[in-house]
Amino acid sequence: MFSKACEYGIRASMYIALQSLEGKRVSLKEIAEEIDSPVAFTAKILQQLSRNKIVDSVKGSAGGFQIEKEQIKKIKLSEIVYAIDGDNVYVGCGLGLKKCNANKPCPVHDKFVAIRDNLKNMLESASLQEMTEGLEVGTTYLKR
Amino acid sequence: MFSKACEYGIRASMYIALQSLEGKRVSLKEIAEEIDSPVAFTAKILQQLSRNKIVDSVKGSAGGFQIEKEQIKKIKLSEIVYAIDGDNVYVGCGLGLKKCNANKPCPVHDKFVAIRDNLKNMLESASLQEMTEGLEVGTTYLKR
DNA sequence: AGAAATTCGGATAAATTTATCCTGTTTATG
DNA sequence: CATAAACAGGATAAATTTATCCGAATTTCT
């Protein structure tokens, strides 16, 4: 569904959000440990998220990553996915045709559009805030 | 969503089905042309489909690929996807966790399950027969 | 029997994605 | 101000996916 990079990106964002709500800034190392991802690769992804204003990065000793509380409420999963995977998830034919559309559709066009719209709606309505709620009370997990 | 291999595999199966309904056996070359896919790569995929009894292959001059009419009615897209991509599409956590389940779910578990079930249902209910119908009357396409 | 058309299967190559490493820069802190 | 902790970014490597090539086997047709 998503690329590995995107999976790590989403999980990292969720972890940063979780800690930011506690007022804690977190280091790359800690993030990678807590979401069980390769450190250096995660660094690359955090750079992307930082450039795309999804997360704030602070250099130097006592630096790390954080997300402002207001942002945690606003940021939707769709923005994270878009920052890393682009619009691949939303656009593009299920069967790989370059110019598939309602006018000249592939045989599964309508069925795919329906499913993709579901996915899109889900990602556009799921905020980081909402995602952290289960993490806080221990009913959802970011590794294992 | 699917791998390139799977996209080509689905399109190839649809084209073979379409021609088989006309009583025509089709060659690799013709298939690749008609679905706009790389010939040699398509050959590999057809081998897989042949081993998995999705398509029949006939060697030798005047050989080629075909699908029996009875099979065209029975074969669902899910079988093609499974033959090529395995169960990746259905199983596996949206965020890449190895042991994500209803008991210890990732933050998006339920939402993903819902969407994946949609996809699964769609693939399990869409037969090759159904797919060829639009192709026959020219309302759907396999290339462009 | 020979030639042509065709799939099969192994080896290999190219492209992309995933992952690592290393050097530089920034910043808090003692 | 020196040091250590941390991110940034370029170069590189490993793994996977996508794609090509070629010889062998099979079958039809003349």
Q: Note whether B134 contacts A: Cβ–Cβ < 8 A.
A: yes
Averaged pLDDT of chain A: 97
Question: Which of B8, B107, B115 shows the shortest C-beta gap to A122?
Answer: B115
Residue A106 pLDDT more than 90? yes
Number of H helices, E strands in chain B: 7, 2
Query: For A116-126, what is each residue's pLDDT tens digit?
Result: 999 999 999 99
Query: For A38-71, what is each residue's pLDDT tens digit?
Result: 999 999 999 999 999 999 999 999 999 999 999 9
pLDDT, average across residues A59-85: 97
Tell me whether residues B141 and A14 touch, CB distance under 8 A: no
What residues contact B31, with CB distance under 8 A and at least 6 apart? B12, B15, B16, B37, B42, B46, B65
Residue B115 pLDDT more than 90? yes
Query: For B27-70, what is each residue's pLDDT tens digit?
Result: 999 999 999 999 999 999 999 999 999 999 999 999 999 999 99
What residues contact A94, with CB distance under 8 A and at least 6 apart? A106, A108, A109, A111, A112, A116, B1, B2, B7
| pLDDT at residue A77 in the model | 98
A4-137 CATH? 1.10.10.10
Domain parsing of chain A, residue ranges: 4-137
- The ipTM is 0.93
**Confidence bin at A144 (pLDDT 50/70/90):** confident
Nearest nt to the B3 alpha carbon by C1': D17
pLDDT, average across residues A113-136: 97
